Amino acid sequence: MKQTDFSLRAFTFGIGLLTCVSTSACDSEESGEVGGVDSLADDQPRQGSTQPGAGASQASLVASASAPPSPALVFVPSCGDQTFEGDYFIEDEQDLLDLENYLKVDGDIVIEGTAIIDLVGSDCLEQLSGSLRFVENGALTSISGFDGLTKIGGGISFVENGGDITVDGFESLAKVGAKLSIVVESTITIEGLDNLESLGGIEALESGQLYFPGLDGLEVMGSASFELVEGVHFDGLDSLELVEGGLSFLEVETISADGLGALESISGGLSFDEVSFAPGALDFPSLESIGGDIRIEHIASGAPPTSVFQALESLGGDILLSEIEISELSGFDELETVGGSIQSEGVSIESLSGFGELESVGGSVQLFGFPQLIEFSAFAALESVGGDLQLISLGEITDLDGLYALESVGGDLDLVENISLEQIHINTALSVTGDLSISYNPALSSCAVQDFVDQLSSVGGTITLSDNGPC
């Protein structure tokens, strides 16, 4: 199939209008006869405005007023006013040119299996009720045009196209109703779409490097998920304030986000699982609320982004930290409420701090298996835990320096298998609704344990004190 660069498509329209626009050549009354060339209308020079005719496309090439006195002949694309009913399939260059006949497509536009290298979409098209799909275009390297398109009711998808692709254009596009879907093994760069204000979301699966330097006008976006992706780079999205859904990264080799500085709220959850972070590459300086969970799991290299939540004030769901290899876990300094639980297991850290403003946890606080933990100074302002409070196998800590403000535990309180624990500095006015177990803490004096229990406000369930150190 013939390969064509569509950046010169203004000269290829079979339905273009042959128009004389050079005022010095044919419109000015001072120009006289045009040497050797008949007028398009008659033999007499015409009088009229020195401006080009109304309706001329930006794609038209207009002769300079200072050009020599010869006619400037250009092709002006004539946009049709029709609506195409059903899905419009583009398999070659002529199909793309014929799209100029339509202002609206009531269905999908599917560009599939073409040999086009540089694809320039129709500027005549204004509305698309369905989706715009680019599928298996092996030679495709750039996409531009579509500058008249204001709304896409469905999504935009890129599936198994061959090489690296740069997406630009779409200058009038304000809304995409469904997701931007990406399944490409190569690199894709979204440079344009700077006037896009609303996007149904982003979904990327089994893809290469994804760059988002554009989308600077985007304010609201649906859920975004990235799975089995080589890299995700948010350098744009400087206006994004709300994610209406979740934001998840699963098995992503590299994440960087110099953008996202305006993001204030995620209505769903935020998760990172088997990903790698470059130092300083991720920051959420304006993020104040997350409606769902924060899940950070299986992080073997790079620092997980707990310290980037400096503005976060409320969390509707859980905090889950699991199998993380770092030296310090801090952050969440402005967080005041957690609707769910805080659960952490298998975290190789030496210091647990942060959560300095946290006052209430609706669910449980469960900290298991910190073999290298030396310092525990978190939760200094915590007053109530709705579920259980379980501190189990907390490595080398000798004292619970936090938890001074704790007043109530709605479930059980368990202090178990803390081999170096010597003192319990927990508020003695504490009320425990469920069971109390303080066991297998060999460095903790049994007498100190009994003194702590005797001072508690109340325990609603069974008290178990066993296998602690001698008095």
Is residue 134 included in any domain, yes or no?
no
Is residue 149 included in any domain, yes or no?
no
What is the percentage of the chain residues whose pLDDT exceeds 90?
A: 62
pLDDT confidence of residue 409: 98
Is residue 266 included in any domain, yes or no?
no
Contacting residues for 411 by C-beta, under 8 A, at least 6 apart: 364, 385, 386, 387, 388, 389, 433, 434
pLDDT tens digits, residue range 95-150?
999 999 999 999 999 999 999 999 999 999 999 999 999 999 999 999 999 999 99
Q: What is the number of domains present in the chain?
A: 2
What is the domain extent for residue 337?
303-471
Which residue, of 36, 54, 76, is where some domain finishes?
A: 76
Is residue 33 included in any domain, yes or no?
yes
What is the Cα–Cα distance from 195 to 197, expressed in whole angstroms? 6
pLDDT tens digits, residue range 209-219?
999 988 889 99
The average confidence (pLDDT) of the chain is 83
Phi, psi of 411 (to 5 degrees): -115, -130
Is residue 369 included in any domain, yes or no?
yes
CA atoms within 13 A on the CB side of 242: 9
- pTM, entire model: 0.80
Is residue 136 included in any domain, yes or no?
no
Is residue 471 included in any domain, yes or no?
yes
Give start and end residues of each alpha helix (H) in 108-246.
none
Is residue 192 included in any domain, yes or no?
no
